[in-house]
A and B are shown apart, each in its own frame.
Chain A
Amino acid sequence: MKHGLMEVITRKVVLFDGGMGTMLISSGLREWEVPESWNISKPDQLVEIHTAYLEAGAEVIQTNTFGANRIKLSSSDAGKELDPVEVNEKGVECARRAIDRFGAEDRFLAGEIGPTGLFYPPVGELTDEEASKAFTAQARTLEKAGVDLFIIETMYDLREALAALKSVRRVSDRPVVIELTFEKKPRGYFTMMGDTPEKEIEAFLSEGASVMGANCTLASGDMIDLVSSFREMTDASLVFQPNAGRPEMEHGVPAYKQHPQEFADDIEKMVRAGANAVGGCCGTNPDFIRAVYDRLTQGG
Protein backbone atom coordinates (compact mmCIF):
# COMPACT_ATOMS: atom_id res chain seq x y z
CA MET A 1 0.00 0.00 0.00
CA LYS A 2 1.27 3.43 -0.82
CA HIS A 3 2.21 5.56 2.13
CA GLY A 4 1.35 9.24 2.18
CA LEU A 5 4.02 11.87 1.65
CA MET A 6 3.89 13.02 5.26
CA GLU A 7 4.66 9.49 6.43
CA VAL A 8 7.52 9.00 3.98
CA ILE A 9 9.10 12.34 4.88
CA THR A 10 9.49 11.26 8.51
CA ARG A 11 11.61 8.29 7.41
CA LYS A 12 13.81 9.72 4.68
CA VAL A 13 14.74 12.73 2.61
CA VAL A 14 12.17 13.06 -0.16
CA LEU A 15 13.39 13.87 -3.66
CA PHE A 16 11.27 16.26 -5.75
CA ASP A 17 11.79 16.71 -9.47
CA GLY A 18 13.72 19.40 -11.31
CA GLY A 19 12.90 22.30 -13.61
CA MET A 20 9.94 22.03 -15.93
CA GLY A 21 10.44 25.29 -17.81
CA THR A 22 14.01 24.29 -18.54
CA MET A 23 12.87 20.95 -19.97
CA LEU A 24 10.09 22.52 -22.04
CA ILE A 25 12.51 25.03 -23.54
CA SER A 26 14.95 22.30 -24.51
CA SER A 27 12.01 20.39 -26.02
CA GLY A 28 11.30 23.35 -28.26
CA LEU A 29 9.03 25.69 -26.28
CA ARG A 30 9.17 29.15 -27.91
CA GLU A 31 9.09 32.56 -26.15
CA TRP A 32 5.56 33.35 -27.22
CA GLU A 33 4.08 30.02 -26.15
CA VAL A 34 2.30 29.54 -22.83
CA PRO A 35 4.20 26.65 -21.18
CA GLU A 36 1.00 25.15 -19.72
CA SER A 37 -0.57 24.97 -23.20
CA TRP A 38 1.58 21.94 -23.94
CA ASN A 39 -0.61 19.95 -21.51
CA ILE A 40 -3.22 20.18 -24.25
CA SER A 41 -1.18 20.40 -27.46
CA LYS A 42 1.78 18.16 -26.61
CA PRO A 43 0.78 15.83 -23.75
CA ASP A 44 3.20 13.12 -24.90
CA GLN A 45 6.11 15.51 -24.39
CA LEU A 46 4.90 16.16 -20.86
CA VAL A 47 4.65 12.44 -20.15
CA GLU A 48 8.21 12.05 -21.46
CA ILE A 49 9.53 14.82 -19.19
CA HIS A 50 7.75 13.46 -16.12
CA THR A 51 9.02 9.96 -16.93
CA ALA A 52 12.59 11.20 -17.28
CA TYR A 53 12.40 12.65 -13.78
CA LEU A 54 10.85 9.47 -12.38
CA GLU A 55 13.60 7.42 -13.98
CA ALA A 56 16.18 9.77 -12.48
CA GLY A 57 14.83 8.98 -9.03
CA ALA A 58 12.33 11.75 -8.31
CA GLU A 59 9.67 10.66 -5.82
CA VAL A 60 7.46 13.70 -6.32
CA ILE A 61 6.65 15.00 -9.76
CA GLN A 62 5.04 18.40 -10.16
CA THR A 63 2.33 19.12 -12.74
CA ASN A 64 2.99 21.63 -15.51
CA THR A 65 0.46 24.07 -14.07
CA PHE A 66 2.71 26.74 -12.55
CA GLY A 67 1.01 29.59 -14.44
CA ALA A 68 -2.37 27.94 -14.86
CA ASN A 69 -4.42 30.23 -12.63
CA ARG A 70 -6.96 32.46 -14.35
CA ILE A 71 -5.16 35.71 -13.57
CA LYS A 72 -1.77 34.62 -14.91
CA LEU A 73 -3.27 33.04 -18.03
CA SER A 74 -5.18 36.18 -18.89
CA SER A 75 -1.97 38.25 -18.85
CA SER A 76 -1.14 37.12 -22.40
CA ASP A 77 -3.17 36.90 -25.59
CA ALA A 78 -2.21 33.24 -26.01
CA GLY A 79 -3.11 32.55 -22.39
CA LYS A 80 -6.54 34.13 -22.78
CA GLU A 81 -7.36 31.45 -25.36
CA LEU A 82 -6.84 28.65 -22.84
CA ASP A 83 -9.43 27.15 -20.52
CA PRO A 84 -7.84 27.03 -17.04
CA VAL A 85 -9.89 23.95 -16.12
CA GLU A 86 -8.71 22.00 -19.16
CA VAL A 87 -5.07 23.08 -18.68
CA ASN A 88 -5.04 21.93 -15.06
CA GLU A 89 -6.95 18.69 -15.74
CA LYS A 90 -4.66 17.75 -18.61
CA GLY A 91 -1.62 18.67 -16.51
CA VAL A 92 -2.65 16.15 -13.87
CA GLU A 93 -3.52 13.61 -16.54
CA CYS A 94 -0.03 13.77 -18.09
CA ALA A 95 1.63 13.34 -14.71
CA ARG A 96 -0.68 10.47 -13.78
CA ARG A 97 0.02 8.70 -17.09
CA ALA A 98 3.74 8.96 -16.43
CA ILE A 99 3.45 7.60 -12.89
CA ASP A 100 1.14 4.73 -13.89
CA ARG A 101 3.39 3.76 -16.76
CA PHE A 102 6.49 3.97 -14.57
CA GLY A 103 4.82 1.56 -12.22
CA ALA A 104 6.71 2.12 -8.98
CA GLU A 105 4.97 2.56 -5.66
CA ASP A 106 5.49 5.59 -3.46
CA ARG A 107 5.69 8.11 -6.27
CA PHE A 108 3.66 11.25 -5.68
CA LEU A 109 1.81 13.60 -7.98
CA ALA A 110 1.95 17.21 -6.82
CA GLY A 111 -0.50 19.74 -8.23
CA GLU A 112 1.56 22.87 -8.79
CA ILE A 113 0.36 26.40 -8.10
CA GLY A 114 2.46 29.46 -8.91
CA PRO A 115 1.94 33.22 -8.47
CA THR A 116 -0.70 35.32 -10.25
CA GLY A 117 2.04 37.57 -11.61
CA LEU A 118 0.33 40.62 -10.17
CA PHE A 119 1.42 42.61 -7.13
CA TYR A 120 -0.31 43.60 -3.93
CA PRO A 121 -0.27 47.32 -2.94
CA PRO A 122 1.71 49.52 -3.01
CA VAL A 123 3.44 47.91 -6.00
CA GLY A 124 0.19 46.86 -7.68
CA GLU A 125 -3.52 46.49 -6.97
CA LEU A 126 -4.03 42.78 -6.41
CA THR A 127 -6.41 41.98 -3.55
CA ASP A 128 -6.72 38.88 -1.37
CA GLU A 129 -10.19 38.41 -2.80
CA GLU A 130 -9.03 38.32 -6.42
CA ALA A 131 -6.04 36.12 -5.65
CA SER A 132 -8.13 33.71 -3.57
CA LYS A 133 -10.74 33.40 -6.28
CA ALA A 134 -8.12 32.40 -8.85
CA PHE A 135 -6.26 30.03 -6.51
CA THR A 136 -9.42 28.36 -5.20
CA ALA A 137 -10.62 27.63 -8.73
CA GLN A 138 -7.26 26.12 -9.67
CA ALA A 139 -6.98 24.12 -6.45
CA ARG A 140 -10.49 22.78 -6.89
CA THR A 141 -9.71 21.55 -10.41
CA LEU A 142 -6.43 19.96 -9.32
CA GLU A 143 -8.09 18.27 -6.34
CA LYS A 144 -10.86 16.89 -8.53
CA ALA A 145 -8.39 15.70 -11.16
CA GLY A 146 -6.66 13.60 -8.53
CA VAL A 147 -3.42 15.02 -7.14
CA ASP A 148 -1.71 13.41 -4.13
CA LEU A 149 -0.58 16.74 -2.72
CA PHE A 150 -0.29 20.40 -3.58
CA ILE A 151 2.81 22.48 -4.09
CA ILE A 152 2.67 26.28 -3.98
CA GLU A 153 5.90 27.65 -5.39
CA THR A 154 8.03 30.63 -6.19
CA MET A 155 5.91 32.97 -4.13
CA TYR A 156 7.53 36.38 -3.60
CA ASP A 157 4.81 37.95 -1.49
CA LEU A 158 3.83 36.32 1.79
CA ARG A 159 0.30 37.74 1.45
CA GLU A 160 -0.22 36.04 -1.88
CA ALA A 161 1.32 32.82 -0.60
CA LEU A 162 -1.11 32.82 2.33
CA ALA A 163 -4.02 33.46 -0.01
CA ALA A 164 -2.93 30.42 -2.03
CA LEU A 165 -2.49 28.26 1.07
CA LYS A 166 -5.90 29.18 2.43
CA SER A 167 -7.45 28.58 -0.98
CA VAL A 168 -6.07 25.06 -1.13
CA ARG A 169 -7.19 24.36 2.41
CA ARG A 170 -10.66 25.51 1.43
CA VAL A 171 -10.99 22.62 -1.03
CA SER A 172 -8.59 19.93 0.16
CA ASP A 173 -7.17 18.13 3.19
CA ARG A 174 -4.19 16.81 1.25
CA PRO A 175 -0.63 17.76 2.17
CA VAL A 176 0.40 21.24 1.05
CA VAL A 177 4.03 22.06 0.32
CA ILE A 178 4.66 25.80 0.14
CA GLU A 179 7.79 27.65 -0.95
CA LEU A 180 8.75 31.31 -1.06
CA THR A 181 11.54 32.58 -3.26
CA PHE A 182 14.32 34.50 -1.52
CA GLU A 183 17.16 36.78 -2.56
CA LYS A 184 20.41 36.83 -0.65
CA LYS A 185 21.06 40.37 0.55
CA PRO A 186 23.92 41.62 2.74
CA ARG A 187 21.58 41.62 5.72
CA GLY A 188 20.13 38.18 5.09
CA TYR A 189 17.52 36.38 3.03
CA PHE A 190 14.48 38.34 1.89
CA THR A 191 11.77 38.00 -0.72
CA MET A 192 11.38 40.82 -3.23
CA MET A 193 8.77 42.28 -0.88
CA GLY A 194 10.94 42.04 2.22
CA ASP A 195 9.49 38.85 3.74
CA THR A 196 11.85 36.76 5.84
CA PRO A 197 12.12 33.02 6.64
CA GLU A 198 10.95 33.86 10.14
CA LYS A 199 7.79 35.52 8.88
CA GLU A 200 7.20 32.63 6.52
CA ILE A 201 7.46 29.98 9.22
CA GLU A 202 5.17 31.87 11.56
CA ALA A 203 2.54 32.43 8.91
CA PHE A 204 2.51 28.99 7.32
CA LEU A 205 2.54 26.92 10.48
CA SER A 206 -0.61 28.62 11.69
CA GLU A 207 -2.41 28.03 8.38
CA GLY A 208 -1.85 24.32 8.01
CA ALA A 209 1.14 24.02 5.69
CA SER A 210 2.55 20.50 5.71
CA VAL A 211 6.03 21.23 4.37
CA MET A 212 7.57 24.66 3.85
CA GLY A 213 10.73 26.15 2.44
CA ALA A 214 12.11 27.90 -0.59
CA ASN A 215 12.73 27.51 -4.30
CA CYS A 216 14.22 29.42 -7.24
CA THR A 217 16.20 32.70 -7.42
CA LEU A 218 19.09 31.24 -5.43
CA ALA A 219 21.77 28.99 -6.87
CA SER A 220 22.37 25.83 -4.85
CA GLY A 221 25.50 27.20 -3.19
CA ASP A 222 23.64 30.27 -1.95
CA MET A 223 20.77 28.30 -0.47
CA ILE A 224 22.74 26.27 2.09
CA ASP A 225 22.79 29.00 4.73
CA LEU A 226 19.09 29.54 4.15
CA VAL A 227 18.44 25.93 5.16
CA SER A 228 20.36 26.49 8.39
CA SER A 229 18.36 29.67 9.10
CA PHE A 230 15.11 27.79 8.70
CA ARG A 231 16.26 24.85 10.78
CA GLU A 232 17.30 27.10 13.66
CA MET A 233 13.74 28.37 13.85
CA THR A 234 11.54 25.31 13.44
CA ASP A 235 11.21 21.53 13.66
CA ALA A 236 8.68 21.50 10.81
CA SER A 237 9.35 19.56 7.62
CA LEU A 238 11.42 21.67 5.25
CA VAL A 239 11.87 21.60 1.47
CA PHE A 240 14.41 23.39 -0.75
CA GLN A 241 14.67 23.52 -4.53
CA PRO A 242 17.51 25.74 -5.76
CA ASN A 243 18.52 26.79 -9.27
CA ALA A 244 21.49 25.35 -11.12
CA GLY A 245 23.58 28.49 -10.83
CA ARG A 246 22.66 31.76 -12.55
CA PRO A 247 21.78 31.87 -16.23
CA GLU A 248 24.38 33.27 -18.61
CA MET A 249 23.79 34.31 -22.20
CA GLU A 250 25.54 32.12 -24.74
CA HIS A 251 25.05 33.28 -28.33
CA GLY A 252 21.67 34.72 -27.52
CA VAL A 253 20.48 31.68 -25.59
CA PRO A 254 20.35 31.46 -21.79
CA ALA A 255 22.48 28.66 -20.35
CA TYR A 256 22.91 27.35 -16.83
CA LYS A 257 26.53 26.43 -16.27
CA GLN A 258 26.49 24.49 -13.03
CA HIS A 259 27.55 20.84 -13.16
CA PRO A 260 25.16 18.20 -11.69
CA GLN A 261 27.86 16.96 -9.30
CA GLU A 262 28.38 20.46 -7.87
CA PHE A 263 24.63 20.73 -7.44
CA ALA A 264 24.55 17.35 -5.68
CA ASP A 265 27.40 18.50 -3.38
CA ASP A 266 25.34 21.52 -2.35
CA ILE A 267 22.16 19.49 -1.90
CA GLU A 268 24.07 17.09 0.36
CA LYS A 269 25.10 20.06 2.50
CA MET A 270 21.48 21.20 2.61
CA VAL A 271 20.38 17.80 3.83
CA ARG A 272 23.03 17.91 6.54
CA ALA A 273 21.79 21.39 7.44
CA GLY A 274 18.32 19.96 8.00
CA ALA A 275 16.36 19.78 4.74
CA ASN A 276 13.72 17.03 4.71
CA ALA A 277 12.94 17.32 1.01
CA VAL A 278 15.02 18.57 -1.91
CA GLY A 279 14.65 19.12 -5.61
CA GLY A 280 15.74 21.43 -8.38
CA CYS A 281 14.37 24.50 -10.07
CA CYS A 282 15.49 26.57 -13.07
CA GLY A 283 18.35 25.10 -15.08
CA THR A 284 18.08 21.64 -13.54
CA ASN A 285 17.12 18.55 -15.52
CA PRO A 286 17.01 14.77 -14.93
CA ASP A 287 20.84 14.62 -14.81
CA PHE A 288 20.79 16.88 -11.76
CA ILE A 289 18.09 14.84 -10.05
CA ARG A 290 19.95 11.62 -10.85
CA ALA A 291 23.15 13.07 -9.32
CA VAL A 292 21.23 13.99 -6.16
CA TYR A 293 19.49 10.60 -6.07
CA ASP A 294 22.83 8.78 -6.30
CA ARG A 295 24.28 10.97 -3.57
CA LEU A 296 21.31 10.49 -1.23
CA THR A 297 21.18 6.71 -1.68
CA GLN A 298 24.90 5.99 -1.45
CA GLY A 299 25.34 8.20 1.58
CA GLY A 300 23.42 5.77 3.73
Chain B
Amino acid sequence: MESFLKDCAQSILDFDSERAEKLAQEALKRQLPVLDVVEKGFVAGIREVGRLWEEGTLFLPELVMGAEAIKGALAVLQPALQEGKGGHRTTGHIVIGTIEGDIHDIGKTLVATMLSANGFEITDLGADVPVKMFVDEAAEKGADCIAISALLTTTMPGQQRVIEELEKRSMREGIKVIVGGAPCSEEWAREIGADGYAGDAVAAVTLTKKVTGARD
Protein backbone atom coordinates (compact mmCIF):
# COMPACT_ATOMS: atom_id res chain seq x y z
CA MET B 1 0.00 0.00 0.00
CA GLU B 2 2.78 2.38 0.93
CA SER B 3 4.55 2.08 -2.40
CA PHE B 4 1.21 2.54 -4.13
CA LEU B 5 0.66 5.78 -2.21
CA LYS B 6 4.16 6.92 -3.16
CA ASP B 7 3.32 6.25 -6.82
CA CYS B 8 0.17 8.37 -6.47
CA ALA B 9 2.13 11.27 -4.98
CA GLN B 10 4.82 10.92 -7.64
CA SER B 11 2.30 11.03 -10.48
CA ILE B 12 1.30 14.50 -9.27
CA LEU B 13 4.93 15.60 -8.90
CA ASP B 14 5.52 14.36 -12.45
CA PHE B 15 2.39 16.27 -13.60
CA ASP B 16 1.27 13.01 -15.21
CA SER B 17 -2.53 13.20 -15.48
CA GLU B 18 -2.74 9.93 -17.37
CA ARG B 19 -0.81 8.01 -14.72
CA ALA B 20 -2.70 9.71 -11.89
CA GLU B 21 -6.02 8.63 -13.40
CA LYS B 22 -4.77 5.07 -13.99
CA LEU B 23 -3.65 4.82 -10.36
CA ALA B 24 -7.01 6.18 -9.20
CA GLN B 25 -8.80 3.52 -11.22
CA GLU B 26 -6.50 0.86 -9.78
CA ALA B 27 -7.30 2.04 -6.26
CA LEU B 28 -11.01 1.55 -6.93
CA LYS B 29 -10.45 -1.87 -8.51
CA ARG B 30 -8.33 -3.02 -5.56
CA GLN B 31 -10.91 -1.51 -3.18
CA LEU B 32 -8.23 0.40 -1.29
CA PRO B 33 -9.36 2.90 1.42
CA VAL B 34 -10.19 5.84 -0.84
CA LEU B 35 -9.62 8.62 1.66
CA ASP B 36 -6.12 7.36 2.43
CA VAL B 37 -5.35 7.15 -1.27
CA VAL B 38 -6.47 10.76 -1.64
CA GLU B 39 -4.86 12.21 1.48
CA LYS B 40 -1.65 10.20 1.75
CA GLY B 41 -1.19 9.67 -1.97
CA PHE B 42 -2.38 12.39 -4.31
CA VAL B 43 -2.75 15.24 -1.83
CA ALA B 44 0.72 14.50 -0.45
CA GLY B 45 1.91 15.03 -4.02
CA ILE B 46 0.16 18.36 -4.56
CA ARG B 47 1.29 19.51 -1.12
CA GLU B 48 4.90 18.92 -2.19
CA VAL B 49 4.21 20.80 -5.45
CA GLY B 50 2.91 23.69 -3.33
CA ARG B 51 5.99 23.62 -1.13
CA LEU B 52 8.33 23.63 -4.13
CA TRP B 53 6.33 26.52 -5.58
CA GLU B 54 6.68 28.52 -2.38
CA GLU B 55 10.42 27.99 -2.29
CA GLY B 56 10.72 29.08 -5.92
CA THR B 57 11.67 25.79 -7.53
CA LEU B 58 8.39 25.33 -9.38
CA PHE B 59 6.28 28.04 -10.96
CA LEU B 60 2.79 28.74 -12.17
CA PRO B 61 2.94 26.38 -15.16
CA GLU B 62 3.92 23.50 -12.86
CA LEU B 63 1.29 24.44 -10.30
CA VAL B 64 -1.35 24.31 -13.00
CA MET B 65 -0.09 20.98 -14.35
CA GLY B 66 -0.07 19.53 -10.85
CA ALA B 67 -3.63 20.77 -10.30
CA GLU B 68 -4.72 19.18 -13.60
CA ALA B 69 -3.18 15.88 -12.60
CA ILE B 70 -4.87 15.76 -9.19
CA LYS B 71 -8.18 16.92 -10.64
CA GLY B 72 -8.06 13.97 -13.01
CA ALA B 73 -7.43 11.52 -10.19
CA LEU B 74 -10.14 13.08 -8.00
CA ALA B 75 -12.68 12.94 -10.82
CA VAL B 76 -12.17 9.18 -10.88
CA LEU B 77 -12.41 8.83 -7.10
CA GLN B 78 -15.18 11.40 -6.46
CA PRO B 79 -18.14 8.97 -6.64
CA ALA B 80 -16.48 6.67 -4.10
CA LEU B 81 -15.72 9.64 -1.83
CA GLN B 82 -19.28 10.92 -2.01
CA GLU B 83 -20.86 7.57 -1.31
CA GLY B 84 -18.86 7.31 1.85
CA LYS B 85 -17.04 4.24 0.60
CA GLY B 86 -13.91 6.01 1.81
CA GLY B 87 -15.20 5.53 5.33
CA HIS B 88 -16.27 9.11 5.94
CA ARG B 89 -19.19 11.35 5.11
CA THR B 90 -19.28 14.68 3.39
CA THR B 91 -17.86 17.18 5.77
CA GLY B 92 -19.88 20.17 4.69
CA HIS B 93 -20.95 22.37 1.79
CA ILE B 94 -18.65 25.19 0.72
CA VAL B 95 -19.52 27.99 -1.68
CA ILE B 96 -16.33 29.32 -3.23
CA GLY B 97 -15.43 31.99 -5.74
CA THR B 98 -13.25 34.95 -6.64
CA ILE B 99 -14.83 38.28 -5.73
CA GLU B 100 -16.41 40.59 -8.29
CA GLY B 101 -14.05 42.71 -10.36
CA ASP B 102 -11.35 40.09 -10.03
CA ILE B 103 -10.64 37.43 -12.66
CA HIS B 104 -7.80 35.60 -10.90
CA ASP B 105 -8.90 32.03 -10.30
CA ILE B 106 -6.01 29.61 -10.22
CA GLY B 107 -5.55 29.73 -6.44
CA LYS B 108 -9.29 29.60 -5.85
CA THR B 109 -9.61 26.57 -8.13
CA LEU B 110 -6.78 24.82 -6.31
CA VAL B 111 -8.51 25.43 -2.99
CA ALA B 112 -11.78 24.07 -4.42
CA THR B 113 -9.92 21.00 -5.65
CA MET B 114 -8.27 20.38 -2.30
CA LEU B 115 -11.51 20.88 -0.37
CA SER B 116 -13.26 18.47 -2.71
CA ALA B 117 -10.46 15.99 -2.19
CA ASN B 118 -11.11 16.24 1.51
CA GLY B 119 -14.76 15.33 1.18
CA PHE B 120 -16.40 18.75 1.13
CA GLU B 121 -19.22 19.40 -1.31
CA ILE B 122 -18.24 22.35 -3.44
CA THR B 123 -20.19 24.98 -5.34
CA ASP B 124 -17.54 26.80 -7.35
CA LEU B 125 -18.97 30.06 -8.66
CA GLY B 126 -15.88 30.89 -10.71
CA ALA B 127 -14.39 34.37 -10.86
CA ASP B 128 -15.80 37.91 -10.90
CA VAL B 129 -18.64 36.78 -8.64
CA PRO B 130 -21.05 39.50 -7.47
CA VAL B 131 -21.43 39.91 -3.71
CA LYS B 132 -25.12 39.02 -3.85
CA MET B 133 -24.45 35.79 -5.73
CA PHE B 134 -22.19 34.45 -2.97
CA VAL B 135 -25.00 34.97 -0.47
CA ASP B 136 -27.83 33.79 -2.78
CA GLU B 137 -26.01 30.55 -3.57
CA ALA B 138 -25.04 29.96 0.06
CA ALA B 139 -28.68 30.38 1.06
CA GLU B 140 -29.94 28.10 -1.69
CA LYS B 141 -27.40 25.34 -1.01
CA GLY B 142 -27.57 25.63 2.75
CA ALA B 143 -23.82 26.11 2.73
CA ASP B 144 -21.72 25.79 5.88
CA CYS B 145 -19.05 28.15 4.68
CA ILE B 146 -18.34 30.79 2.04
CA ALA B 147 -14.74 30.99 0.80
CA ILE B 148 -13.83 34.19 -1.03
CA SER B 149 -10.65 34.80 -3.00
CA ALA B 150 -9.32 38.27 -3.89
CA LEU B 151 -6.04 38.87 -5.67
CA LEU B 152 -6.15 42.66 -5.92
CA THR B 153 -6.09 45.28 -3.18
CA THR B 154 -8.87 47.02 -5.09
CA THR B 155 -11.19 44.00 -5.02
CA MET B 156 -10.54 42.94 -1.40
CA PRO B 157 -13.27 45.22 0.01
CA GLY B 158 -15.76 42.97 -1.79
CA GLN B 159 -15.00 40.29 0.81
CA GLN B 160 -16.19 42.68 3.50
CA ARG B 161 -19.33 43.45 1.52
CA VAL B 162 -20.23 39.73 1.42
CA ILE B 163 -20.11 39.65 5.23
CA GLU B 164 -22.21 42.81 5.40
CA GLU B 165 -24.77 41.27 3.04
CA LEU B 166 -24.97 38.16 5.24
CA GLU B 167 -25.57 40.38 8.25
CA LYS B 168 -28.21 42.35 6.39
CA ARG B 169 -30.08 39.12 5.64
CA SER B 170 -29.59 37.81 9.20
CA MET B 171 -27.59 34.92 7.82
CA ARG B 172 -24.23 35.68 9.45
CA GLU B 173 -24.76 33.49 12.49
CA GLY B 174 -25.35 30.30 10.58
CA ILE B 175 -22.49 30.45 8.12
CA LYS B 176 -18.72 30.81 8.25
CA VAL B 177 -16.71 33.08 5.95
CA ILE B 178 -13.05 32.54 5.10
CA VAL B 179 -10.83 34.65 2.87
CA GLY B 180 -7.68 34.16 0.84
CA GLY B 181 -5.53 35.67 -1.87
CA ALA B 182 -2.19 37.48 -2.04
CA PRO B 183 -3.18 40.86 -0.55
CA CYS B 184 -5.23 39.28 2.27
CA SER B 185 -3.95 38.51 5.74
CA GLU B 186 -4.98 37.42 9.23
CA GLU B 187 -5.24 41.09 10.09
CA TRP B 188 -7.53 41.73 7.15
CA ALA B 189 -9.74 38.79 8.08
CA ARG B 190 -10.03 40.15 11.64
CA GLU B 191 -10.72 43.65 10.41
CA ILE B 192 -13.67 42.59 8.27
CA GLY B 193 -15.04 40.06 10.73
CA ALA B 194 -14.25 36.94 8.71
CA ASP B 195 -13.80 33.61 10.46
CA GLY B 196 -10.32 33.06 9.12
CA TYR B 197 -7.65 33.55 6.48
CA ALA B 198 -5.59 30.93 4.69
CA GLY B 199 -2.43 31.63 2.70
CA ASP B 200 -2.54 28.60 0.43
CA ALA B 201 -4.71 25.68 -0.60
CA VAL B 202 -3.29 23.33 1.99
CA ALA B 203 -3.86 25.81 4.82
CA ALA B 204 -7.35 26.43 3.43
CA VAL B 205 -8.34 22.83 4.01
CA THR B 206 -7.14 22.91 7.62
CA LEU B 207 -8.96 26.21 8.18
CA THR B 208 -12.19 25.02 6.58
CA LYS B 209 -12.23 21.88 8.70
CA LYS B 210 -11.64 23.99 11.78
CA VAL B 211 -14.34 26.57 11.16
CA THR B 212 -16.97 24.06 10.04
CA GLY B 213 -16.15 21.76 12.93
CA ALA B 214 -15.55 18.89 10.52
CA ARG B 215 -13.74 15.83 11.79
CA ASP B 216 -10.13 15.66 10.65
A-B interface pairs (CB < 8 A), number = 47
Question: Any chain B CB within 8 A of the CB of A101?
Answer: no
Q: Are B183 and A249 in contact (CB under 8 A)?
A: yes
Residues of A contacting B160 with CB < 8 Å?
A: 252
Residues 170-205 of A at the B interface (beta carbon under 8 Å):
183, 185-188, 190-194
Residues of B contacting A191 with CB < 8 Å?
A: 59
Complex Cα–Cα for A188 and B59 (A): 13
Residues of B contacting A254 with CB < 8 Å?
A: 153-154
Complex Cα–Cα for A190 and B60 (A): 11
Complex Cα–Cα for A254 and B160 (A): 15
**Known A32-B101, A186-B55; contact A122-B183, beta-carbon cutoff 8 A:** no
Query: Shortest distance in angstroms between B155's beta carbon and chain A's nearest beta carbon?
Result: 8
Question: Any chain A CB within 8 A of the CB of B174?
Answer: no
Residues of B contacting A192 with CB < 8 Å?
A: 59-60
Complex Cα–Cα for A254 and B65 (A): 33
Q: Are B61 and A194 in contact (CB under 8 A)?
A: yes
Closest to B160 in A: A252
Question: Any chain B CB within 8 A of the CB of A260?
Answer: no
Q: Are B154 and A185 in contact (CB under 8 A)?
A: no
Closest to A248 in B: B153
Residues 123-158 of B at the A interface (beta carbon under 8 Å):
153-157
Complex Cα–Cα for A198 and B154 (A): 33
Encode B43-71 as 1/0 by CB contact (under 8 A) with A. 00000000000011111111011001000
Q: Are A185 and B55 in contact (CB under 8 A)?
A: yes
Q: Are A190 and B68 in contact (CB under 8 A)?
A: no
Q: Are A249 and B156 in contact (CB under 8 A)?
A: yes
Q: Are B56 and A187 in contact (CB under 8 A)?
A: yes
Question: Any chain B CB within 8 A of the CB of A43?
Answer: no
Residues of A contacting B188 with CB < 8 Å?
A: 249
Question: Any chain A CB within 8 A of the CB of B211?
Answer: no
Complex Cα–Cα for A69 and B63 (A): 28
Query: Shortest distance in angstroms between B166's beta carbon and chain A's nearest beta carbon?
Result: 18
Query: Shortest distance in angstroms between B76's beta carbon and chain A's nearest beta carbon?
Result: 20
Complex Cα–Cα for A188 and B55 (A): 10
Which residues of B are interface residues toward A (Cβ below 8 A)? 55-62, 64-65, 68, 101, 103, 106, 153-157, 160, 183, 188
